[in-house]
Structure 1
Amino acid sequence: MRHQHGKHQRAKGNPDCGDFQTLYTDVMTRTALDDRCVVLIGLMGAGKTTVGRRLAAIMDRPFNDADHEIERAAGRSVSEIFNDFGEAAFREGERKVIARLLDEAPMVLALGGGSFVDPQTRALVKERAVSVWLQADIETLATRVARRDTRPLLRDGDPLEILGNLLETREPAYAEADIRIDASAGNHQATAQIILAALKDWEAVQ
């Protein structure tokens, strides 16, 4: 069942219009955001999962993390998939999982850092979702990701250099996002509120 916002409750039908208005009231009062997922993109360490959970709670929607769903589908971690099968195989599986998630009821979905670079995935997101690029400076990202040893792309070099190269490569794709948000600050709840305000602005012009 699709999520219904409280402000979009069924209006009273006009008795002069009979069943016609009752039938179409829901359609006429829905907005551009009601049928779309909100997809968070950006480099590792941008806070997509943490901010996404808070945003989903505010919007009263389910939250999902594409990497977690990939791990669940594959029965192994992202690092293991990279090590055992390589990045190309990981991206192929990732593409299928994201397509499935975008077919489900509207949710807040956090994508892995390289997902949006894939042309097919990017096209699906543009068609079925609102994309939000969480931006942060490289130094902040490097500090955040240093706290965890689960990033396969960062294991063979200087994180600052690797993240800088990744941003240079991925920025043209990220720049196609519908919304850009500065996620450098550590207050994830505040970032979620900023995203919500930006979504309302986006919705108003659709």
Structure 2
Amino acid sequence: MTDSAVDGSGLVVGDDHLARPPWAATDPLLREYYDTEWGMPVRDEQGLFERVSLEAFQSGLSWATILRKRPAFREAFDHFSPDAVAAYGDADVARLMADAAIVRNRAKIEATIANAHATVALRDQGGLVDLIWSFRPDRTPAPRSVEEVPTRSAESEALAKALRREGFRFVGPTTMFALMEAIGIVDTHLVGSHRRGTSGIW
């Protein structure tokens, strides 16, 4: 059976009879990510620091590019240990700029180090996890088509401002909405997707 679109939602039914959005319907890596990880709650500091970092690197690029490079990113950034990354100096920036396996963007590399410092500093105020999850809205979107999926929200705008106040970089409202989708703070799985409502949050 070949993949086929269903109704007017844009969902694609795969050969396993499960409905997914087009971005997760064909590429095996994206499909696995969608089926097992995207939209599931992340509530540990290191895991959240990794997601914030990767969303920043994704800015202007496709998520598939970042996902394929994620093992290399983890290796290059000490598995996104905030304490380890916060200790990086000029030699580490040079090392990362020379690493062809990751995205070699100096501004994003330096932002990741700054964000590690900010993550460590936040521990005295309850921590990164509590801060980010405090922006969970009272309701989640319920998009019935790809066109109805929002790209930002009042909460993502507020989260972006709060993180910037704490010294975070590359945390704009659109990037933060993508983070909120990825870690389950909102559920933007299309109504009709086999993943809708599976996070245990909504």
User: Relative to total residues, which structure has the larger strand share, 1 or 2?
Assistant: 1
User: Relative to total residues, which structure has the larger helix share, 1 or 2?
Assistant: 1
Q: From the CA coordinates, give the structure whose radius of gyration is larger.
A: 1
Question: What's the TM-score once normalised by structure 2's chain length?
Answer: 0.28
